[in-house]
Structure 1
Amino acid sequence: MKKLMCFLACFLPGVAFAAGGNVPLDEAPIDLTDKASLQRGAKLFMNYCLGCHSMQYQRYQRTFNDLGIPDELGEKYLQFTGEKVTDYITRAMPAESASGWFGAAPPDLTLVSRVRGPDWIYTYLRTFYADESRPFGVNNKVFPEVGMPHVLEPLQGTPRETYEEVMVDGEMVERYVGIKSDGTGAMSPDEYDQAVGDIVNFLEYTGEPSKLDSYRIGKWVLVFIAVLFVFVYLLKKDYWREVH
């Protein structure tokens, strides 16, 4: 609990700062019943995000079991730091080195979807753009002056802001129309959007792994309460019959 409170205390100021960009958020394609998407998201997260970011409140084995991944396959393809399948998911980068390279250790991402929201993460990962003035050569529309590199650039390619010339009051001006990849990535724009959606879907799962079970049980709880209400109401009428 203490670790969780410290995490939120460090993370929430960043949320407030990032929310100041006034960028419309795109709706993330969340579907926790899509095991294939969750498996792809887990693979992408372990390969591209776990080097810097940890999931110290989530265990490998819980993840593998929930996502339908056999332990032996998960250990072979999704564990890279020699940890046991029963261990928590921790990053490979030492915290001291991360602080020296980035100014602060990258935050744990176990609960990032609950803190920031899946739409924020989805839009954030899709709005990096080249900016030579930044230390890592990229900036972000949702989180201006971002302090992390664009780790998914090998998949997307180099994203750049694009403009078009339009006539306004008799004068030609440039209007911002969005961010477009230069085509050097391993994925097409549609494939990249799907990959980002898979990552966000996985992060939504880790934020509350038992959500689907809670929804399933919650429906039966409501049915039970409704049936119980009938009997309680009839019992009340019987007790108060003489009074009325």
Structure 2
Amino acid sequence: MKLMNKLLGAIVVSLTCSVAMAAGSSYPLDKAPPKLNDQAALQNGAKIFVNHCLNCHSAKSLRYNKLRDIGLTDQQIKESLLFTGEKVGDMMTIAMTVQDGARWFGAAPPDLSVIARAKSINAGPPGGDYIYTYMRTFYRDTTNATGWNNLAFPNAGMPHVLWDQQGPRELTSTLIHQVPKDGKMVWEKLTKQYDAQGYWTAKAETLDNYSGPGGETHTFKALDPKKAAQYDKDMGDLAAFMTWMAEPVQLERKKIGVWVLIFLGLFFVVAWRLNATYWKHVR
């Protein structure tokens, strides 16, 4: 019994750590729109990935011709996704070497072939949720070398390369916590506001007779709501494509799995009836 309790405890700890690792921070992940069966969304995600991500990040585990599986023809791939003499059968590589990346950025930008799977270890949230949240939580921060920061990945070395598509935004972060004052602990509300240029102001106020929970909340205000809404849609498409890219056969695998379960169910019924018929006379 003690051994079983230890095993269960180890499993719980493992799953808890997996969730934390998948998220990358304490920031709650937004649910990415389910678009794996939407070919138009996957094609738009592929366009965004090739045009904006494939400059610094590679996807060496995927060939361009694999994009046929999301409805693109070889001609469409050539005309829309190949710009520097690549062939349809080539891997999604980049000209920048690992050594150059490390020298220019401090660390080489990672290959993104299976990043969606890497961010959904074991029982963690889907990797698509992390990508969707990460790409939508950049904000201007003049205190960082890149001029940007990120809620899902604080102090990320990557700047917001799609800032123009998203449009300007303001961020308000509110932290309710206890601080020492006059020899006792009191509740304080700290509000920090980042404007569209990345300059921030802070305001602290004491909360008298406060009995609620502590914690931190973040609120974005889009200065161009229409542009921000289109950006959110595009990031849903990008997250879906990168989830598909991490395992292109997953849709087929799930279809086969359904048929396997149906077969096993039918086989169970047949085996059960055969067993009853076989033992009927013995009893």
TM range (shorter): 0.7 to 0.9
* SS of 2:104 mapped into structure 1: helix
Matched residue, 2:272: 233
In the alignment, residue 90 of structure 1 is paired with which amino acid?
T
In the alignment, residue 221 of structure 2 is paired with which amino acid?
K
- For the residues of structure 1 that align with 2:161 and 2:88, how far apart are their CA atoms? 26
Q: Radius of gyration: which is bigger? A: 2
Q: 2:77 aligns with which of 71, 74, 77?
A: 74
* SS of 1:178 mapped into structure 2: strand
Distance 1:191 1:47, change over 3 A: same
- For the residues of structure 2 that align with 1:134 and 1:85, how far apart are their CA atoms? 40
Contact kept in structure 2, 1:98 and 1:104, CA below 8 Å: yes
- For the residues of structure 2 that align with 1:44 and 1:207, how far apart are their CA atoms? 16
Q: 2:139 aligns with which of 114, 129, 134?
A: 129
Deviation at 1:239, TM superposition (A): 4.2
Q: 2:167 aligns with which of 147, 157, 182?
A: 157
Deviation at 1:237, TM superposition (A): 3.2
In the alignment, residue 87 of structure 2 is paired with which amino acid?
K
Q: 2:28 aligns with which of 24, 28, 44?
A: 24
Distance 1:154 1:125, change over 3 A: same
* Number of aligned residue pairs: 224
Q: Could you list the runs of 5+ residues in structure 2 that have no partner in the other structure? A: 1-18, 120-126, 173-192, 194-201, 209-215
In the alignment, residue 42 of structure 1 is paired with which amino acid?
A
Contact kept in structure 2, 1:128 and 1:159, CA below 8 Å: no
Distance 1:105 1:57, change over 3 A: same
Matched residue, 1:101: 104
Alignment of 1:35-54 (within 5 A): 35-54=39-58
Matched, 1:57 2:98: no
Q: Could you list the runs of 5+ residues in structure 1 that have no partner in the other structure? A: 1-14
> Percent same amino acid among aligned pairs?
43
In the alignment, residue 83 of structure 2 is paired with which amino acid?
F
Q: Deviations over 1:153-176 (max 9, x none)?
A: 121134442349898647xxxx96
* SS of 1:30 mapped into structure 2: coil
Matched, 1:84 2:87: yes
- For the residues of structure 2 that align with 1:176 and 1:210, how far apart are their CA atoms? 38
In the alignment, residue 29 of structure 1 is paired with which amino acid?
P
Higher strand share: 2
Q: 1:192 aligns with which of 231, 236, 256?
A: 231
- For the residues of structure 1 that align with 2:105 and 2:20, how far apart are their CA atoms? 20
Contact kept in structure 2, 1:30 and 1:200, CA below 8 Å: no
* SS of 1:188 mapped into structure 2: helix
Deviation at 1:19, TM superposition (A): 3.6
Distance 1:159 1:17, change over 3 A: farther
- For the residues of structure 2 that align with 1:157 and 1:191, how far apart are their CA atoms? 10
Deviation at 1:230, TM superposition (A): 2.1
In the alignment, residue 54 of structure 1 is paired with which amino acid?
S
- For the residues of structure 1 that align with 2:35 and 2:23, how far apart are their CA atoms? 25
- For the residues of structure 1 that align with 2:247 and 2:66, how far apart are their CA atoms? 12
- For the residues of structure 2 that align with 1:158 and 1:101, how far apart are their CA atoms? 27
- For the residues of structure 1 that align with 2:73 and 2:24, how far apart are their CA atoms? 43
In the alignment, residue 227 of structure 1 is paired with which amino acid?
L
Matched, 1:209 2:248: yes
